[in-house]
Amino acid sequence: MKTGGAARQSFDPQRYERDLLCILSEVRPLPAVSQRDLQRILRKYPRDGKGFFSRSELIAGFRHLARGQGWDDEASFVRKLRKRRIRTLSGVTPVTVLTKPFPCPGRCIFCPSDVRMPKSYLSLEPGAQRAAQQGFDPYLQTRVRLQAYHELGHPTDKIELIVLGGTWSFYPEPYRVWFIKRCLDALNDFSGADPATAPEHAPLRDPGEPSESVHGGLGGASYNQVVSSHLRRRLQGALVGDWERAEWEDLEATQRRNEGARCRAVGISLETRPDQVTREEVVTLRRLGATKVQIGVQSLQDSVLALNERGHDVSLSRRAIGLLRGAGFKIHVHWMPNLYGSTPQADVEDFDRLFDDPAIRPDELKIYPCSLIESAELMRHYRAGSWRPYAREELIEILEHALLRTPAYCRVTRVIRDISASDIVVGNRTANLREVVEERLAAQGRQLQEIRSREIRSGEVDDSRALLEERATYETSVGLERFLTVTTAGDRLLGFLRLMLPKQPAFIEEIRESAMIREVHVYGEVAGIGEPAGARSQHRGFGRRLVARAAELARGAGYSDLAVISAIGTRSYYARLGFTRGRLYQHLRL
* pLDDT over threshold 50, residue 218: no
Lowest mean pLDDT among 181-195, 359-373, 450-464: 450-464
* pLDDT over threshold 60, residue 530: no
103 and 131 belong to one structural domain: yes
97 and 75 belong to one structural domain: no
Q: How many Cα atoms are found within 13 Å in the side-chain-facing hemisphere of 559?
A: 27
246 and 98 belong to one structural domain: yes
Residue 166 is assigned to a structural domain of this protein: yes
The total of structural domains in the chain comes to 4
Sheet containing 580-581, strands listed edge to edge, beginning at the edge strand earlier in sequence:
467-475, 479-487, 493-502, 515-522, 561-564, 586-589, 580-581
Residue 167 is assigned to a structural domain of this protein: yes
427 and 520 belong to one structural domain: no
Q: Which domain holds residue 321?
A: 273-452
102 and 166 belong to one structural domain: yes
429 and 306 belong to one structural domain: yes
Surface-to-core class of residue 445, CB atoms within 10 Å of its CB (0-12 exposed, 13-18 middle, 19+ buried):
exposed
Lowest mean pLDDT among 22-31, 136-145, 215-224: 215-224
191 and 213 belong to one structural domain: yes
Helix (H, G, I), strand (E, B) or coil at 414: strand
Residue 296 is assigned to a structural domain of this protein: yes
The last residue of one of the domains, among 237, 270, 303, is 270
Q: Cβ distance 319 to 274 under 8 Å?
A: yes
218 and 347 belong to one structural domain: no
Lowest mean pLDDT among 54-63, 153-162, 344-353, 476-485: 54-63
Q: How many Cα atoms are found within 13 Å in the side-chain-facing hemisphere of 282?
A: 22
CA distance 266 to 550: 20
Domain CATH for 396: 3.20.20.70
pTM over 0.75: yes
307 and 425 belong to one structural domain: yes
The last residue of one of the domains, among 270, 295, 327, is 270
pLDDT at 535: 45
| Most confident residue range from 3-17, 74-88, 280-294, 456-470 | 280-294
553 and 581 belong to one structural domain: yes
State the amino acid at position 584 in one-letter form: L
Domain CATH for 504: 3.40.630.30
Q: How far is CA 397 from CA 270, 355, 361, 393, 440, in A?
A: 31, 18, 22, 6, 10
Q: What long-range pairs does 77-81 form, CB within 8 A, spacing at least 24? A: 77/24, 77/27, 77/28, 78/153, 79/153, 79/525, 80/27, 80/30, 80/32, 80/33, 81/27, 81/33, 81/38, 81/55, 81/153
206 and 72 belong to one structural domain: no
Residue 1 is assigned to a structural domain of this protein: no
pLDDT higher at 329 or 24: 329
415 and 461 belong to one structural domain: no
The last residue of one of the domains, among 241, 270, 299, is 270
CA distance 201 to 559: 50
CA distance 198 to 139: 7
Residue 487 is assigned to a structural domain of this protein: yes
State the amino acid at position 502 in one-letter form: P
Cα angle at 408 between 265 and 557, to 5 degrees?
Answer: 80
Average pLDDT over residues 93-114: 94
State the amino acid at position 83 in one-letter form: K
* pLDDT over threshold 60, residue 534: no
Calculate the average pLDDT of the chain: 88
* pLDDT over threshold 50, residue 536: no
Residue 541 is assigned to a structural domain of this protein: yes
Residue 150 is assigned to a structural domain of this protein: yes
pLDDT band, residue 539 (cuts 50/70/90): low
